[in-house]
Amino acid sequence: MKCIIIDDEATARLIISKHCSDIKGLNVLEEFSNAMDAMKYLNQHTVDLIFLDIHMPGFNGIDFIQTIKNPPNVILTTSDPNFAIEAFEYDCIVDYLIKPVTEERFNKAINKASNSVKVAQKTETNITTQDSTDNVLYVNIDRRLIKIDMPSIYLVEAKGDYIMIKTETKNYIVHSTLKKIEDKLPDHTFLKVHRSYVINVSKIIDIEDNCVLIKKDIIPVSRSNRPILMKRLNLL
């Protein structure tokens, strides 16, 4: 996990940094004595975890969380237990450490953060359906779950580690695989016609030789998939 430490107190930064150095795989990328510098850093860098002091002059930790876009996991560090209730109003806050931080408590917080990162990664690679009967698919793009109506999808194309989902109104690039989305889409409407394409059969305009025209896209149909496609068509 890549992390940064934000605390106006050098002693506190040093202690957190020491705890981090004792944990394999936890790398402190930068330390900041104020939130503004950290914000500038986060505009250009991605981190998995922030150790954030609440009490800082001028711009405090809660202001910081409210200001940054898509905050990563945050572990609050403070001398004030009174902030605990407010802290859990924010989804990004995974734990809350009272200073001075002990090794045992630190490790517990890291476990929570680590689990949270794993869940986030899983969400990023998985596409989830809310309810198959709703015909709705949620895709994770830039940490946002975006709703797509499945009937509006006419084509899904594999693009390396990503897939492009084309709908009537918009195209989406999602970090996932064709196999995963194929499993989520209803069989009676969608068909894999080529190793790189899944199409919505109901949106086909015409078929010529080994290609289908779907909207304005001409999609190749592999030899092995052609008979399956032909069976699905209501041929006269």
Site residues (vs other proteins, CB under 8 A): 9-12, 14-15, 18, 55, 57, 79-80, 99-100, 102-103
User: Minimal distance in Å, beta carbon 106 to other proteins?
Assistant: 10
CA pair distance 53, 41, nearest whole angstrom = 17
Cβ within 8 Å of residue 61, ≥6 positions away: 6, 35, 52, 53, 54, 55, 76, 78
User: Minimal distance in Å, beta carbon 100 to other proteins?
Assistant: 5
Q: Kindly tell me which of 93 and 101 has the beta carbon lying closer to other proteins.
A: 101
CA pair distance 70, 143, nearest whole angstrom = 7
> How many residues can be counted in the chain?
236
Cβ within 8 Å of residue 112, ≥6 positions away: 94, 95
User: Minimal distance in Å, beta carbon 159 to other proteins?
Assistant: 48
Q: Which of 185, 190, 154 is nearest to 172 (CA)?
A: 154
Q: Where do runs of H (alpha helix) occur along the chain? A: 10-21, 35-44, 61-67, 84-87, 103-125, 178-184, 226-232
User: Minimal distance in Å, beta carbon 138 to other proteins?
Assistant: 43
Q: Kindly tell me which of 9 and 30 has the beta carbon lying closer to other proteins.
A: 9
Q: Kindly tell me which of 18 and 122 has the beta carbon lying closer to other proteins.
A: 18
User: Minimal distance in Å, beta carbon 27 to other proteins?
Assistant: 18
Q: Which of 116, 108, 104 is nearest to 49 (CA)?
A: 116
Q: Kindly tell me which of 79 and 202 has the beta carbon lying closer to other proteins.
A: 79
User: Minimal distance in Å, beta carbon 35 to other proteins?
Assistant: 15
Q: Kindly tell me which of 79 and 111 has the beta carbon lying closer to other proteins.
A: 79
Q: Kindly tell me which of 82 and 133 has the beta carbon lying closer to other proteins.
A: 82
- CA angle centred on 129, ends 95 and 89, rounded to 5°: 25
